[in-house]
Amino acid sequence: MNKVTNQNRWLLAGGLSLLAITGLVSAQDAPTAASATAAAAEATFTVNNLWLLISAFLVFIMHLGFSTLESGLTQKKNCVNILFKNVFIISTGVLTYYIWGFNAHYPGASPFSVEDGGTVDWNGIFALGSMAAPGEGDQTSAYGDYTYWTDFIFQAMFAATAATIVSGAVAERIKLGKFMIFALLLVGIAYPLAGSWHWGTGILAKFGFYDFAGSTVVHAFGGFAALACCILLGARKGKYTESGIKPILGHSMPLAAIGVFLLWFGWYGFNGGSVLNADPAAVSLVFVTTTLSACSGAVAAMIVSKVVLKKPDLSMALNGILAGLVGITAGPDVIPPTLSILVGAISGVIVVFSILFFDKIKIDDPVGAISVHGICGIWGTLAVALFGGGAATIVGQLVGIVMVCAFAFVFSFVVFLILKIVGGVRVSEEEEAEGLDVAEHGAPAYGVS
């Protein structure tokens, strides 16, 4: 009897407890749902923010890729000089982007703003920058689901790329000090200004210009800046002779290959991060189109170089990878995977003939930067109008290409011409023959053999 009574007591207590819990849950239904929604939003924000930070780290790795690629494709007597320039570019590039460039790139209400219907807006062309410092409590960016500082560091990693492109093109004969001045002005002033026309809701936005991650705004910009510098600088001694073109071989193809694979790896942050969130469908599509274009660019360059040069050329294959990556960068989110293979293949063909063309007209580019970034950047931007499913028009793309490339070329030509007039931009013939490692830095890269 006592046993049954005890069981009944336990059942009664359990039932009362269940009723109490049920009542509590019912009473808390609304707050719990709101809390769950807030928690989900916070989780989404955290994931998006983390992905953009990871992408920034990947783009940062690209600067190591540029360093090793440029070093490998040039002579060993200039290796320290190449590495020094790349260290300078990323360091000063981030600093100038913080001090001036970020808020010029995304100007919002510029000091040159005009009143339009009661709202303040900048004029779309002349953007002024300022110190990158958010307002009190401003933790989120106006451009997406991530913090202000995450936005800054991601964009800062892009900013230095333009000068890095120029670094390879002018390698082995430029005065270090003059290059440093030029790089500061290009990254600190010119790049944010051109970028504001597109990503800062400037004038190119009005033409429907579409450039997802920067085939034109980053790569062609750097390529045409490099072209202006190479024209004024002249070719390396002994490259173009009366008997024809004399190849000046790079000292380490393993270094060059490592550099290209590092760049390919970093491109997943370059393009994938430009989605600006961690949306699974969007990011995975961009990864696939980026990869397919790089692969087809490599294969196309291998085939064309074998046919044209009679032997399979590794440097052309490596530049084919980069050409495919640059080509797809304008539209990896809107160009279907199958068509991305075509974009990359055409890029791989273009880069081989472009490198040969610039050699023929005696514009010396030791790493092929003008062809890879400038010419293939133009092709990739046009490819969006052809294969992007209506994301852009040919006219809109052409307007953007002409504006950005012409601006990069003219700005660079004028600045470089002034530097050339004031003290010259080229080292002496003796210093060039000795190598810039010793002439400019006083130390060879590999010690005394």
Instruction: State the pLDDT confidence band at 70, using cuts at 50, 70 and 90.
Output: very high
198: Cβ–Cβ under 8 A, 6 or more apart, which residues?
204, 205, 209, 211, 217, 400, 404
Structure confidence by residue, pLDDT tens digits, 299-310 = 999 999 999 999
State residue 245's pLDDT score: 94
Q: Are 412 and 165 in contact (CB under 8 A)?
A: no
Residue 113's pLDDT is what? 41
Q: pLDDT tens digits for 209-225?
A: 999 999 999 999 999 99
Q: What pLDDT score does 176 carry?
A: 97
Closest C-alpha to 197, from 258, 110, 269: 110
Contact 102, 192 (CB under 8 A): yes
The DSSP code for 375 is I
Does pLDDT of 395 surpass 70?
Answer: yes
Number of helices (H), then strands (E), in the chain: 19, 4
Task: Look at residues 157, 78, 91, 70 and name the one whose alpha carbon lies nearest to residue 372.
Answer: 70
Q: Among residues 173, 306, 169, 276, which one has the least CA distance to residue 230?
A: 169
Which pair of tokens denotes residue 357? Answer: 């063309």
Whether 448 is in a domain gets the answer: no
| Residue 118 pLDDT greater than 50, yes or no | no
Asked whether 278 and 321 are in contact (CB, 8 A), the reply is: no
H-state helical runs in 28-78: 29-72
Biggest CA–CA distance in the chain, Å, is 118
19 pLDDT more than 90: no
Tokens encoding 238: 């002994």
Query: Two tokens at 433?
Result: 């023959």
Count up the domains in the chain and report the number.
1
> Tell me, what's the pLDDT at 348?
98
DSSP state of 101: I
CA distance 218 to 194: 9
Residue 314: inside a domain: yes
Domain presence at residue 449: no
pLDDT for position 30:
54
Residues 44 and 122: their CA atoms lie apart, in Å, by 32
Report the distance separating Cα 68 and Cα 229, nearest Å: 22
Confirm whether 58 is domain-assigned: yes
pLDDT tier at 117, thresholds 50, 70, 90:
very low
Q: Residue 20 pLDDT > 50, yes or no? A: no
Rounded CA-CA distance 60/53 in Å is 11
Q: Which two tokens stand for residue 413?
A: 């030509």
Question: Which pLDDT belongs to residue 236?
Answer: 97
Contact of 423 with 178, CB cutoff 8 Å: yes
Between CA 279 and CA 145 the distance in angstroms is 11
Q: Look at residue 426 and tell me whether its pLDDT is greater than 80.
A: yes
Predicted confidence at residue 132, as pLDDT, reads 87
Q: For residue 38, is it within any domain? A: no
Q: Is residue 19 part of a domain?
A: no
Q: How far is CA 135 from CA 65, 103, 141, 148, 405, in A?
A: 36, 13, 11, 10, 35
pLDDT of residue 256: 98
Number of residues assigned to the chain: 449
Q: Are 419 and 181 in contact (CB under 8 A)?
A: yes
Q: Encode pLDDT of 140-158 as tens digits.
A: 666 568 998 999 999 999 9
Q: Which domain holds residue 146?
A: 54-441
Q: Helix, strand or coil for residue 426?
A: strand
Structure tokens at 399: 């307007």
pLDDT band at 340 (very low <50, low <70, confident <90, very high): very high
Percent of the chain with pLDDT over 90: 78
Query: What does the pLDDT look like over 325-337, one tens digit per residue?
Result: 999 999 999 999 9
CATH of the domain at 169: 1.10.3430.10
Residue with the larger pLDDT of the pair 383 and 163: 383
Whole-Å CA distances, 330 to 70, 214, 240, 271, 389:
24, 6, 35, 9, 13
Q: Between these two residues, 14 and 320, which has the higher pLDDT value?
A: 320
Give pTM, 2 decimals.
Answer: 0.90
Residue 109 is predicted with a pLDDT of 47
The pLDDT mean for the chain works out to: 89
In a domain, 447, yes or no: no
Evaluate whether residue 2 is within a structural domain.
no
